[in-house]
Amino acid sequence: MINEFTTLEAIFFIGNIVLFFVSQRTFSFFYLDNEESAKPRIKASLYLTGSLFLLQLSHILIKLDILDKSLNEITYKVFYTLLTIYGMLIFQSSVHYFIKMKLGTKDKVDDKDIAADTPSSRMWSLVTLVIIIFTTIYVNIQIWSAASMMETTGIVGISLGALALTNSVWFPDIYSGIIILKNKSFSVGDTVCFDEEEELYIVNKATFFHLELLSVIDNNRTTIPNHILSSFKTHNLSKVSTQQGLRRTIKYKIGYPKQLTIEDCKIKIEELKNDKKYSNVDLSVEFIREKQIMDYIEKIRKLAKEAQEHVLKQENTKNICLSEHEFRIGVSNTGDHAIEFVLSYYIKPLKKSFVTERIRDYLVRTPLLVNEAMLLKSYKYGIDLSTPITYVKNN
């Protein structure tokens, strides 16, 4: 009997050492597409295997009469309780993995294939999680010899009562999370912003209760409960409705050109009389003044075109997905002191990514390069991009 017990003890001891070293690989495999989700489970498994090792050591000390033999029974019960929890943790992770692979959708983030949750996979993961939790409770009831009808009913009743009393806390998040998945507003790896905020986020992880976001600007993590998220207006920058890409705009307030006097207009009329292109045109002061502003706008359009060519030719734009679709600039407002021009440019559709630096290159660095190019070319054409305080008389 002693030999058999010693052999069984050795098997548990060696098995525990093996579990300690393979737990990281095991959970990393089950959560290959999201290493952040694996970290708490790896930490829990290390704590559990460490605790199991201490209990085994305690049992050896009891056998050697170093510790009181009355502790033997409690040591066994705690050992098997922790072993049950550890087994259920691995089982739940494996079930979640296979459900996600079977019912989830295949996606690609940073050129890596991942399985994203769907309403079906989320529901089945939730159902299996509840079953596993109650199974673990039942097994532990048996271990601690609390299997009488009254004790079993009491423990299960307390668990159900706790769920019922706290349903206003966890149910809205779970329900809203499933609705968000069903609507396909966004998925893991998408770049989003909310309401009218300019802050950009990458969807890093979607859980039962919250959405974990990575700030593109600050690199910090932000967590938003699902029930609050469902009330936001979400802009998904990774999903566009046209092949041209994501349309972005920059506004410039440029001073009005100096209005020609009547004498200046007459001089221009005399100059144009010798131009065959205007032979059939009624040359008047009104025509000259209209032509002046049209030429001014055309000058700014040429400026924008050359600015685009300058950006595309730069060597440091190899990571910038600026579309070759032509820049468009037009008058959006005629203010008291300046004409407001809106420059429209396109960025190629964003790829799903967890790398904030890559998204910053797309959405933050690109407009900086466009602004630099516009400033450079404005000096070539003699156009001041500064917003004038008073009327500016440009030549």
Spatial CA neighbour of 371 closest among 197, 232, 248, 245 = 248
Q: What are phi and psi of 125, to 5 degrees?
A: -65, -40
Would you state the pLDDT for residue 136? 84
Domain boundaries, the chain: 1-103+123-165, 170-237, 246-381
Residue ranges in the chain modelled with pLDDT below 50: 1-4, 391-392
The pairing of beta strand 246-255 with beta strand 234-236 = unpaired
Distance, CA of 102 to CA of 104 (rounded, Å): 6
The pLDDT value given to residue 146: 64
Angle between helices 35-63 and 2-30 (to 10 degrees): 170
d(CA 164, CA 120): 24
Task: Write out pLDDT tens, residues 175-189.
Answer: 787 777 777 778 888
The tokens of 303 are what? 């400026």
**CA gap 127, 122 in Å, rounded:** 9
Q: CA 349 → CA 31, 139, 343, 360, distances in Å?
A: 28, 52, 19, 14
**Amino acid code (one letter) for 171:** F
Concatenated DSSP letters for 127-152? HHHHHHHHHHHHHHHHHTT--SHHHH
- CATH of 170-237, picked from 2.30.30, 2.40.50, 2.60.98, 3.30.450, is 2.30.30
- pLDDT given for residue 300 in this prediction: 93
Check if the beta carbon of residue 386 is closer than 8 Å to that of residue 252: no
The continuous run of DSSP H or E covering 358 comes out as: helix 356-360
